[in-house]
Amino acid sequence: MKHQETAQEIIKAVGGTNNINSVYHCVTRLRFDLKDNEKVDNGSLKKLDKVMGTNISGDQFQVIIGNDVAKVFDAMVKENPAIQQSTEKKEPKSDKKQNVVLKIFETIAGVFAPMLPAITAAGMLKGLLALFVSVGWMSAGTDTYRILSAIGDGVFHYLPLLIAVSAARKFGSNPFVAIALGTALMYPDMTKLLDGSQTVGFLGIPVTAVSYASSVIPILLAVWLMSYVEKWIDRVIPAALKLLLVPLITLLVMVPVTLIAIGPLGTFVGSGLSGGINWLLNEGGLIAGIVLGGAMALIIMTGMHYALVPIILSNIATLGFDKFLPLTFISNMGQAGATLGVFFRAKDKKLKTVALSTSFTALMGVTEPAMYGVNMKYKKPFAAAMIGSAVGGGFALAFGAKAYVLAGNGGLPGLPSLIGQTFWYSFGGMILAFIVGAIMSTIFGIKEEEGDAEALAQFSPGASTAPAKVTSNDAATVNVDDMGDPTPTSDAVAVAPMTGKSIPLKEVNDPTFGDELMGKGVAFVPTVGELVSPVTGTIMNVFKTKHAIVIRSDNGMELLIHVGINTVKLRGQYFDAHVATGARVQAGDKLLTFELAEIAKEYDITTAMVVTNTADYKQVLPVKLGEITMGEDVLKAEI
C-alpha cells in the first residue's frame, strides 16, 4: 500500500478529518489530538500494512508506524493541511473525567516531541565531538571545534526559545509572541542583571536572580499562562487595535510576571523533580536499575518517557550528565535480543526473516518493529525482553552509569551520548540486556501462527480464493460476483452451527477473534465434528484449506465461521467440504465435516462465528451461552 493510501485509510479510521484537532509525528508514531477517541476504528487501523499498533497516552491517540512515519505524515498533511497542528481554538473534548497526571504527561510530550529532531541532532554532534577529542582526532581549542561546538551547544543554550514555539502551538497562543517572551528573558543585559551580584526589583517588587539559559520548566509554565492572558486580552480589545495592543499588553504583563513569580517557581519545581528522580537513581542503585530497566518498555509504550525529557535536559545542563538515559539504551537492547531469540526458535521462514530484520532495527535504536511486530505479538519474547532489560539496568545503575548528551537514538548509533567515565558500565548493561533477552526468549519459545489473519483478509464477499473440493452438493448455485454488497434489511438470528458449548467470543485464544478485530459474534467448543449452516442464504466463500467458510444470509448478515485456531496449517487435512462457493443453503444444511479427535491432538478446536458486517447493526449479541445443540438460536443481530 502506498503512503498516500495508508494516510487516507488512517484518517478514515480515526474518524475522518472532522474528528482531528491536530496531528504531528515523532520518530515512529503519528500523534493525534482527536475530538473523540471513541470514534476510532482500531480494527481497521491494525489491518493496515504499515500500522504496527495503536496506543492512548492521556488523551493523545497514537498510531505506531515505524521508520516510514514521516512519509505517511507528509502524505497525510499534503492532501489535508488543515489537520496539521495549529494554533486555532480546538473544540472541547468529551465530559469524561481525565487522569490529571496522564494529562500533564501528554501535554509535556506534545510540547517536546516536535522539538526532538533539533535536540537529538545537537546532542549527537556533542557526543561525536567528545569522541573525537577523547581519541585525539580533534583539539578542543581549534576554530573548527568551536564552530561545531556552537552548533551543538547553541540549541541547548537557547532551549527556552524552542520550547516557547512548541508550547505556544500546543497551548494555542501566538508562537512569535512566545519567542519574544523568551528572548526578553535571555537578553544579554537581562542575563547580566540576574547574575546574582546585585538586588533587582521591578516597580518596587523584588525579582529573584535566575538563569534562564538552558532552562525548561520556567518558559513552559510562562507560555502556558501566557495562552490564557493573551486570549483574555484578545476578547476585550477592539478589533481595530488587536494587532498592536494584544501582543504589546501580553508582553508587558507576562515578562514581569515571569521574572517575579513564574521563573523562580519553575526553577524550584524543576529542581525538585530533578532532585527527586536523581535521588532515586543515585540511591536506588541496583534495585532502581532492575525496576526501571524492566519497566522501561512499558514506559515507552505509553509515551511517558517524553514527560521526562525536561528533567533529562535539566540534568545535562546543570550536572553535565543524566542517569535515566542509559536505561533507554538498555531497554532497546533487551527488545533486540528477545527478537533474536524468536529467530532462533521460529520454524516458519517468513517469521525468521522478520525476527532477524527487526532485531537489527532495534539494535539501531528503532524498537517498534521488534516490540509490536514480534515480541508483543507472541507475548513470551516481550517478557524475555523485560527480564533482559532488568538485568542490564541493574548492572548499569549499580555502577552509576551516566549519559552525557541527549543523542536522541537509543541504539548503537547513539553510543556517543554515553562516552565518558562510565561508558563501559552503560555498554556492559546493554550487552547484558541483549544476551539475557535472547537467552530467555530462546528458552521461553513461541507458539507460532502461520499468518491466519492474512488468510482471513481474503474472506470478503466475492473474494477470488479457489473453492474447496466438494464431496456432495445438490444445491443450486449463484454467481456471488453479481450479489453486490447489500445493507441488512432486518434483524437477523443465527442458529448454532455445531453441537457443544457456546462461549463469549472474547474467550477465544486468538487476538484476531478475541479482540473482535473481524467483528462481534460467538464461539463454540464442539463435541461433534460436523458444521451446518446457521442461516438460510448463500455461500460466499469456502476457503481452500476447508477450515473456514463465509455465508451471507438472505436478510444481509454476513458470517465467518472458522473451525479451530491456526488450523490453516493443516492445509485441509481432516476436513471435508460439502458445499462450494455460490451454493444456496438452508439453515441446518451440512457445510463441513472434520475429524475432531485428530485435530484436537495438536490444535485448539474452539470455533469462532463472527458477523463480519457488525458495523451495519446496532448490536450483535449471543442469545445462548453454555451447552448447546446444533440448530438452537445462538446469535442475534439488531439493526
Residues 426 and 558 in one domain: no
Residue 452 lies in a domain: no
Residue 372: pLDDT band by 50, 70, 90 thresholds?
low
**pLDDT at residue 528 in the model:** 92
Residue 200 lies in a domain: yes
* Res. 524: pLDDT tops 60: yes
Higher pLDDT, 89 or 511: 511
Task: Please give the positions annotated as active site.
Answer: 26, 562
Average pLDDT over residues 70-81: 79
Average pLDDT over residues 258-281: 72
Residues 330 and 274 in one domain: no
Q: What is the pTM of this model?
A: 0.46
Residues 556 and 612 in one domain: yes
| Percent above pLDDT 90 for the chain | 22
**Which residue type does 61 have?**
F
CA distance 389 to 381: 12
**pLDDT at residue 92 in the model:** 41
Report DSSP state, residue 96.
S
> Which among 257, 280, 303 is the end of a domain?
280
Residue 99 lies in a domain: no
Residue 145 lies in a domain: yes
Residue 455 lies in a domain: no
CA distance 150 to 586: 79
**Which residue type does 243 have?**
L
Q: Among 144-153, 401-410, 422-431, which stretch is predicted with the lowest mean pLDDT?
A: 401-410
> Which among 70, 86, 102 is the end of a domain?
86
Residue 101 lies in a domain: no
* Res. 94: pLDDT tops 60: no
* Res. 503: pLDDT tops 90: yes
| Largest distance between two CA atoms of the chain | 101
> Which among 86, 104, 130 is the end of a domain?
86
Residues 202 and 326 in one domain: no
Residues 488 and 525 in one domain: yes
Dihedrals phi, psi of 487, to nearest 5 degrees? -80, 140
**Which residue type does 40 have?**
V
**pLDDT at residue 69 in the model:** 76
Residues 366 and 396 in one domain: yes
Average pLDDT over residues 292-307: 69
> Containing H/E element for 64?
strand 60-64
Supply the range of the domain harboring residue 597: 461-638
CATH number reported for the structural domain that contains residue 59 in this entry: 3.30.1360.60
What average pLDDT is seen over the chain? 80
* Res. 263: pLDDT tops 80: no
Residue 93 lies in a domain: no
Confirm if 530 and 548 have CB atoms less than 8 A apart: no
Residues 500 and 566 in one domain: yes
Residues 411 and 542 in one domain: no
**pLDDT at residue 280 in the model:** 75
Reading the block at residue 639, the C-alpha cell is 439493526
Q: Among 72-86, 197-211, 235-249, which stretch is predicted with the lowest mean pLDDT?
A: 72-86
pLDDT digit string (tens) for 557-576?
Answer: 899 999 998 888 788 889 99
> What distance lies between CA 298 and its chain's CA centroid?
11
CA distance 165 to 220: 10
**pLDDT at residue 105 in the model:** 61
The residue to which cell 442475534 is assigned: 636
**pLDDT at residue 435 in the model:** 95
**pLDDT at residue 279 in the model:** 76
**pLDDT at residue 561 in the model:** 93
CA distance 610 to 634: 12
* Res. 454: pLDDT tops 60: no
Burial of 590 (0-12, 13-18, 19+ CB in 10 A): middle
Higher pLDDT, 75 or 214: 75
pLDDT digit string (tens) for 580-632?
Answer: 888 899 999 999 999 998 999 888 999 999 998 888 888 899 999 999 999 99
Higher pLDDT, 51 or 576: 576
CA distance 452 to 569: 9
**pLDDT at residue 286 in the model:** 87
Residues 325 and 256 in one domain: no
Higher pLDDT, 32 or 253: 253
Confirm if 500 and 528 have CB atoms less than 8 A apart: yes
**pLDDT at residue 417 in the model:** 79
**pLDDT at residue 570 in the model:** 84
**Which residue type does 621 have?**
L
Residue 120: pLDDT band by 50, 70, 90 thresholds?
low
Reading the block at residue 189, the C-alpha cell is 543585559
Residues 305 and 407 in one domain: yes
Q: How many domains does the chain have?
A: 4
Average pLDDT over residues 189-195: 84
Residue 105 lies in a domain: no
**pLDDT at residue 121 in the model:** 74
Confirm if 8 and 79 have CB atoms less than 8 A apart: yes
Residues 466 and 434 in one domain: no
**pLDDT at residue 276 in the model:** 67
CA distance 194 to 221: 19
Residues 369 and 220 in one domain: no
Report DSSP state, residue 113.
G
Residue 384: pLDDT band by 50, 70, 90 thresholds?
very high
**pLDDT at residue 275 in the model:** 63
